[in-house]
Amino acid sequence: MSLLISQNSDVISLGEICNFQKDIFEKSRCSCGSLYHQCDFWGDYCQDKSISDPICYAARRSEASYLVDSSKTAYWNALRPFMLRRSGWNVFVIHMRRDLPSVIRSAKKGRNTHLENGVIRKRLFESLRTCFGRLIADLAAIIWKLFGFGPYLAVNYQNLREDFDYSVNAIGKFLNVDLSIAREKVLKRQALDVGHEVSGNRLLRAGPVYFWI
């Protein structure tokens, strides 16, 4: 979803930006394929230590109206939207919902960085951890909505695939951004621009990315 939104040039997708320092330490790669210190977008951030917060750096570097933070809001990250709001950001929450069995299946595959490096590392009680993580993330989003912390939109993953036009229109209207480029690329089965996302899905770094509907 972050990729779809960021096809608009006024939106920059940061990926799971909460993992940035760990990614740099582990010498992981940006979605453009480069090591962060060699990346066109993040290279200056790695060299220049005057801005410690990568989100502030991205805001200044890109001058985009929207920055998409796809950090998972499970466990210790559950308060992330609230903390960002407290720091002065105008936060729009898009609550991506997906059926639990699919979430567990995805979690059981392992961490993206491990899969990319061919490492097989199973965690104990993966299904249970995933259930709790999802519960916490859902609770955080519902509290955000119920107590009116800011704009909120729920998007169902399955609907995004099965009723693409409806979901994309809803997201475009919610953010007041034109998503016609994303819509056109998907309908014409063209590759999406992967930008410079941190961490997250290894498929971003595996070649052209398409969104099939």
Where does this chain bind Zn ion (CB under 5 A)? 30, 32, 39, 41, 196
Residue closer to Zn ion by CB (options 41, 82) is 41
Contact 26, 183 (CB under 8 A): no
Residue with tokens 């929450």: 93
Q: How far is the CB of 204 from Zn ion (least distance, A)?
A: 10
In whole angstroms, how far apart are CA 174 and each of 36, 56, 59, 80, 208?
32, 23, 21, 20, 28
Q: How far is the CB of 46 from Zn ion (least distance, A)?
A: 11
Round to whole Å and give the CA distance between 103 and 73: 14
Residue closer to Zn ion by CB (options 36, 152) is 36
Residue closer to Zn ion by CB (options 57, 144) is 57
Round to whole Å and give the CA distance between 93 and 80: 11
Residue closer to Zn ion by CB (options 4, 30) is 30
Q: How far is the CB of 20 from Zn ion (least distance, A)?
A: 12
Q: How far is the CB of 38 from Zn ion (least distance, A)?
A: 8
> Which residues neighbour 28 within 8 Å (Cβ) at sequence distance 6 or greater?
36, 113, 116, 199
